[in-house]
Chains A and B, each alone.
Chain A
Amino acid sequence: MRYWLWMLSVIAADAIAAEHKFSGIVDIRASYTDGIDTYVDGGLGKFRFDQGSQLSIAQAGVSYELDWDNPLSAQITANGYLDGVNDNLGITEAFINYRGLPFENGLRLQAKFGLMYPNISLENIATAWSSPYTLSYSAINSWLGEEFRHIGVEFSVERLGKMSNSPHDFALSATLFQHNDTAGAMLAWHGWTNSSRQTLLQETLPLSNMPSLQNGTLTKQAQASDPFIELDNRLGYHAKGQWRYKGQGELSIGYYDNNANTRVVEKGQYAWLTRFIHIDNKWHLPYNILLLAQYMHGDTLMQSPDGRDIVDNQYQAAYLLLSRRWQQHRLSVRLEKFDVTDNDATADDNNNERGYAVTASYQYRLTKGWYLQAEYNRIDSIRAARVEQGLPYDLIEQQWQLASRWYF
Chain B
Amino acid sequence: MLLAQRCDEYQLDKEVVVSNKSINKRLALIFALMISTVNTALAQGVTITNSDGDAMTGMVVYLHGASSHQPNDNAIREPIEIHQNNKQFTPYITVIQKGYELQFVNDDDITHHIYSASGPKRFSFKLRKDNAQQAMLFDQVGHISMGCNIHDWMSGHLLVVDTPYFGVTDTNGFIDFESVPPGQYQVVIWHPQLLSQDNLVTVESQWPLARALTITVDAPMADIPSQQSLDDFEFLEGY
Contacts and interface: CB of A to CB of B under 8 A. Distances in A.
A, B from the same assembly = yes
Interface of A: 19, 21, 23, 25, 63, 67, 69, 71, 99, 101-104, 106, 108, 117, 119, 121, 124-129, 132, 160, 162-163, 165, 169, 246-250, 282, 284, 325, 368-369, 407
Q: Which 6 A-B pairs have the closest CB atoms?
A: A132-B233, A407-B235, A127-B235, A125-B239, A126-B235, A101-B115
Interface of B is mostly: loop
Interface string B69-109: 00000000000000000000000000000000000000000
A284 B230 contact: yes
Nearest to A325: B232
A23 B235 contact: yes
Nearest to A100: B149
Given A102-B149, A163-B118, A282 B239 contact: no
B183 interface: no
A347 B228 CA distance: 55
Contacts of A102: 115, 117, 147, 149
Contacts of B233: 125-126, 132
28 contacts: A69-B126, A99-B149, A102-B117, A102-B147, A103-B117, A104-B118, A106-B117, A124-B239, A125-B233, A125-B236, A125-B237, A125-B239, A126-B235, A126-B237, A127-B235, A127-B236, A129-B237, A132-B233, A132-B235, A162-B147, A162-B155, A163-B117, A169-B152, A246-B225, A247-B230, A249-B230, A369-B234, A369-B235
A25 B232 CA distance: 17
B128 interface: yes
Chain B: interface size category: 20 to 34
A117 to B, nearest CB: 7
Nearest to B119: A104
B231 interface: yes
A36 to B, nearest CB: 32
A19 B118 CA distance: 27
A359 B234 CA distance: 23
Interface of B: 111, 115, 117-118, 124-126, 128, 145, 147, 149-150, 152-153, 155, 222, 225-226, 228, 230-237, 239
Given A104-B117, A119-B239, A124-B239, A67 B111 contact: yes
Nearest to B199: A165
Nearest to A108: B149
